[in-house]
Structure 1
Amino acid sequence: MSFKIAFIGAGSIGFTRGLLRDLLAVPEFNNIEVAFTDISSANLEMVTQLCQRDIDENGLDIKIHSTLNRREALRDAKYIFCVVRIGGLEAFQLDVDIPLKYGIDQCVGDTLCAGGIMYGQRGIAEMLEICKDIREVAAKDCLLLNYANPMAMLTWACNKYGGVNTIGLCHGVQGGHRQIAMAFGLEKEEVDIICAGINHQTWYISVKHKGEDLTGRMLEAFENHPEFSKTEKVRIDMMRRFGFYSTESNGHLSEYVPWYRKRPEEINDWIDLGKWINGETGGYLRVCTEGRNWFKTDFPNWMKEPAIEYKQENRGEEHGSYIVEALETGRTYRGHFNVVNNGVITNLPDDAIIEAPGYVDRNGINMPVVGDLPLGCAAVCNVSISVQRLAVEAAVHGDDTLLRQAMMMDPLVGAVCNPKEIWQMTDEMLVAQEKWLPQFTESIKKAKERLAAGNLLPTKDYQGAARLKVKSIEEMAQNKEDARKNAAESDKAKERPSAVK
């Protein structure tokens, strides 16, 4: 069995090495073609060396084709994994820091809120260029497996405007599934779930153990859990008021809704600093920065360690390899996938990107009808979908009016800022990120004029309610195992339970 798989953004060590391990653990895939591409020659070289070493020590006759030329990497590819971060950590810093001047305190800022909306503007512009290359040089029936955020926005743009069959993939459902099992003192494999909604706002609408429905007992289980009662206060409160547990972490969820991060003096009531994902201001930016710095510093030691063994028991939980395996071998796989709705969830818009259970085999990716979400859960999702739709159209058409409307409709931005503040913040973010926003050339020119004219609204020198400093290499070296895990994992919050004692 031979076909070609390409990785765009292959310099991302967390995703690339793990996904390749998962793919090459499939016995039938010992003769596939693999291509890596990235815009960073240094990152690409390091990750290629490490992955090629793994391949060689597993006795496979596969040579990675590593290139800075994206079209060359994509040529004839049947499956394409996208793990890019457009603008890198430089732009990510702006996504966090500029909104803080206006009182918008984000934990992550890569899915919704001011940071996620701007991340979408950068990402969609580049994803449409990637789609153009795919249409022109990749295999005719290729599948784009998108791991890049903002997941829903990028997947929406690729399917509607990119002309490429795209499925969005995320590990959020698996993480919450593990938590639910822990809350009941069970193993994950013992708990059956149905989870549906939109990416990062997906709801566990059915939870069963040996046929017994546990859904109604979830709130009590989480309220009484010694760790989750401290680390997941937002998710528990949302479950208390909407009836169902949400996939996304305390920190993520807190910035998607208007109630938990709008008053600086109240933020610490809802978060915990035991792990960044529990709500730390700019927490994901911090751990990504530390992971990048550690990998660059410690890379020679990674090459000295034993290679990853390509065995079934070493495969991770990321959906990508299992989807490819099911499509190629016919072995059925069940997961949760981000796809165009088209009636799967009947009280969410058909054109939206939803996340729901699906089944994959040789016949393709099949999405059973879920039906209606509980009304309150659907209402939460529909607010976010409206923001996503505005942001997608803004990015595709370079329309800064739609961009500003997306900002206004965003739950947390609207809770914290008035319209004039939102207009000025958007001007600042457009100008600061000019080099990644080719579609907004005229809008940025006018934004520069407004900012230069003076009479600006006052902003704050605000570092957020719960910001921690980035660790130095010396500080990380005091716990090399944690530093290594952070750099190596695609899911940087996998070991989630932890509370400040």
Structure 2
Amino acid sequence: MPSVAFIGAGSVVFTRQLLADLLRSPELHDIDLRLHDIDPERLAVAEGTARQVAERSGASITLTATPDRRVAVEGADFVVNMVQIGGIAGTRRDLEIPARYGLLQTIGDTTGVGGVFRGLRTFPFLSALLKDMQELCPNALFLNYTNPMAMNVWWASVVAPEIRTLGLCHSVYWTVDGLCELVGVPLEGTHFRAAGVNHQAWLLEWSRDGESLYPALQQKIREDPELERRVRVEIYKRIGYYPTETSEHSSEYLSWFLRSKEQIERFRLEPLQYVGISEENVAEFEDAKAALASGRPLELHEGAAEYAPQVIHSIVTGTRREIHANVPNHGLIDNLPEGAAVEVPHIVDGDGVRAVPMGALPPQAAALNRSYLNVAGLAIEAMRTGSKELVRQAVLVDPNAASTLTPEQIWALCDELTAAHGELMPEALR
């Protein structure tokens, strides 16, 4: 039977959906599931969630819930990572401290100052997890959901290149789903491929019956001027390809949007939005805890949209699928840095996972991706060398930070964030 370890299973709502998607497939009803979290209360809720989902699915899984990570990963075939180092308190610091300096972010988990500091908090954990995998399950497939995705996949390739790592994110799928709804065509039967970096890939192919759907999108934009108040539509107008992450995320990767009140109002942005989202996630956890205590059925969303269950199912059953995933760039995108984490299509089946080389991106799209990867690359190098100066230089080259703050302010901000995160930061960078 396939063995699957969920690391950070206390992300209870996410764990619930991954399990529901997994157990919709009768071929996976006998999996060996290991749940790991260091928070006993969250681990207990995750265990109760797994038991309820399995019962409702008619599955006879073998279930282990453990605070010991090594027990969870030993002999595993698949290791799914969804850990958030620092939790909601870390998120608040990443968003609220820069905001006091005048640097606004919406989500703050991918690139820029929030992404850099989230990455630096996460790298030591990743190093330890991957070391466990090297010893206890060296042939396992590591499926990472934790942000900052590009930095984490890149870091994994630095510290454990022999571990097969696949970064999974649903942004490409949901982008195409939303666009198909907008232009009035069903997603099923639509052909699409994107490439770039996570949260800033580009929809290079989007067609139905051999005809591009981009003209239909352009017509919708002409008919509805309000669509031009979407960040992604503005990026599409200027770059020529639609970006594969939400407007809220996309706004903070560039210098165009959060730099002034006028732009924030024009594009209907909500700075510090992820603080509210994080509070909603805590409320969802409390609701799940109460539901389990009272015997109330948990809400399960229909349809398997997450990639991890699809990857596991395809490898176990031999079912062929095409997904988008994040891996180091070794001959996959010609005009992005070698070794950097990139997002490209992948073929998944009984033989494993194979990336699809995409050649060169349109030069204007690659130029924006390189700005994003400059931040990630400097953060990786800061961690590798223990250079505090490189941490600050990573933030300095971020377009959003550079459009708002002076170098002196960026140095002071990084000093304050480092102190605020305390022992969560790598020792050499404190």
* Same fold per superposition (TM over 0.5): yes
Instruction: Pick the aligned partner of 2:424 from 418, 421, 436.
Output: 436
Deviation of 1:378 (Å): 0.6
Secondary structure of 2:342 counterpart: strand
Secondary structure of 2:242 counterpart: coil
Match runs of 1:296-335 below 5 Å = 296-297=286-287, 299-302=289-292, 304-306=295-297, 314-335=302-323
Deviation of 1:413 (Å): 0.6
* Aligned residue in 2 for 1:258: 255
Q: Deviations over 1:320-339 (max 9, x none)?
A: 11111111211101111111
Cα distance change, pair 397–434 in 1 and its aligned pair in 2 (3 A): farther
Q: Which amino acid aligns with 2:340?
A: A
* Aligned residue in 2 for 1:292: 282
Q: Distance in 2 between matches of 1:243 and 1:18?
A: 35
* Aligned residue in 2 for 1:21: 20
Secondary structure of 1:379 counterpart: helix
Q: Distance in 2 between matches of 1:329 and 1:169?
A: 20
Q: Distance in 2 between matches of 1:410 and 1:119?
A: 15
Does 2:211 align with 1:220? no
Instruction: Pick the aligned partner of 1:237 from 217, 234, 238.
Output: 234
Tell whether the 8 Å contact from 1:397 to 1:439 is kept in structure 2 after alignment: no
Deviation of 1:270 (Å): 1.5
Instruction: Pick the aligned partner of 1:160 from 138, 158, 161.
Output: 158
Deviation of 1:21 (Å): 1.5
Tell whether the 8 Å contact from 2:31 to 2:62 is kept in structure 1 after alignment: no
Deviation of 1:358 (Å): 1.2
Tell whether the 8 Å contact from 2:98 to 2:413 is kept in structure 1 after alignment: yes
Q: How many residues align?
A: 428
Q: Distance in 1 between matches of 2:237 and 2:51?
A: 49
Deviation of 1:297 (Å): 4.7
Tell whether the 8 Å contact from 2:119 to 2:151 is kept in structure 1 after alignment: yes
Deviation of 1:214 (Å): 2.6
Q: Deviations over 1:198-257 (max 9, x none)?
A: 000011112212111233553332353487444x2x111111111111011111111000
Secondary structure of 2:277 counterpart: helix
Does 2:269 align with 1:267? no
Q: Deviations over 1:469-493 (max 9, x none)?
A: xxxxxxxxxxxxxxxxxxxxxxxxx
Q: Distance in 1 between matches of 2:178 and 2:343?
A: 19
Q: Distance in 2 between matches of 1:226 and 1:46?
A: 46
Tell whether the 8 Å contact from 1:80 to 1:142 is kept in structure 2 after alignment: yes
Q: Which amino acid aligns with 1:301?
A: A
Secondary structure of 2:195 counterpart: strand
Scaled by the length of structure 1, what TM-score is found?
0.82
Match runs of 1:270-419 below 5 Å = 270-271=267-268, 279-297=269-287, 299-302=289-292, 304-306=295-297, 314-419=302-407
RMSD: 1.8
Q: Which amino acid aligns with 1:141?
A: N
* Aligned residue in 2 for 1:205: 204
* Aligned residue in 2 for 1:60: 59
* Aligned residue in 1 for 2:119: 120
Q: Distance in 1 between matches of 2:264 and 2:274?
A: 17
Match runs of 1:72-151 below 5 Å = 72-138=71-137, 140-151=138-149
Q: Deviations over 1:56-77 (max 9, x none)?
A: 3433322420011111111111
Where does the alignment leave 5 or more consecutive residues of structure 2 unmatched? Answer: none
Tell whether the 8 Å contact from 1:205 to 1:215 is kept in structure 2 after alignment: no
Tell whether the 8 Å contact from 1:219 to 1:240 is kept in structure 2 after alignment: no
Q: Which amino acid aligns with 2:142?
A: L
Q: Which amino acid aligns with 1:343?
A: G
Q: Which amino acid aligns with 2:155?
A: A
Q: Distance in 2 between matches of 1:126 and 1:220?
A: 48
Q: Deviations over 1:429-466 (max 9, x none)?
A: 111111211333xx53xxxxxxxxxxxxxxxxxxxxxx
Secondary structure of 2:347 counterpart: strand
Tell whether the 8 Å contact from 2:2 to 2:316 is kept in structure 1 after alignment: no
Tell whether the 8 Å contact from 2:35 to 2:46 is kept in structure 1 after alignment: no
Deviation of 1:315 (Å): 3.7
Cα distance change, pair 224–183 in 1 and its aligned pair in 2 (3 A): farther
When structure 1 is superposed on structure 2, of 260-269 and 217-226 the one drifting more is 217-226
Secondary structure of 1:322 counterpart: helix
Deviation of 1:340 (Å): 1.1
* Aligned residue in 1 for 2:185: 186
Q: Distance in 2 between matches of 1:244 and 1:250?
A: 14
Q: Which amino acid aligns with 2:352?
A: G
Q: Distance in 2 between matches of 1:26 and 1:401?
A: 50
When structure 1 is superposed on structure 2, of 337-346 and 23-32 the one drifting more is 23-32
Deviation of 1:299 (Å): 2.5
Q: Which amino acid aligns with 2:243?
A: S
Q: Distance in 2 between matches of 1:169 and 1:296?
A: 26
Tell whether the 8 Å contact from 1:54 to 1:308 is kept in structure 2 after alignment: no
Cα distance change, pair 394–224 in 1 and its aligned pair in 2 (3 A): farther
Tell whether the 8 Å contact from 2:10 to 2:42 is kept in structure 1 after alignment: yes
Deviation of 1:109 (Å): 0.2
Deviation of 1:391 (Å): 0.8
Tell whether the 8 Å contact from 2:120 to 2:426 is kept in structure 1 after alignment: no
Tell whether the 8 Å contact from 1:169 to 1:319 is kept in structure 2 after alignment: yes
Scaled by the length of structure 2, what TM-score is found?
0.95
Q: Distance in 2 between matches of 1:142 and 1:425?
A: 40
Q: Deviations over 1:239-283 (max 9, x none)?
A: 111111101111111100011111234311122xxxxxxx31111
Where does the alignment leave 5 or more consecutive residues of structure 1 unmatched? Answer: 272-278, 445-501
Secondary structure of 1:176 counterpart: helix
Q: Distance in 2 between matches of 1:119 and 1:110?
A: 7
Q: Distance in 1 between matches of 2:223 and 2:170?
A: 26
Q: Distance in 2 between matches of 1:20 and 1:357?
A: 24
Percent identity at matched positions? 32
Deviation of 1:20 (Å): 1.3
Q: Distance in 1 between matches of 2:18 and 2:127?
A: 24
Structure 1 segments, 4+ long, off by >6 Å, are: none
Q: Distance in 1 between matches of 2:64 and 2:226?
A: 46
* Aligned residue in 1 for 2:43: 44
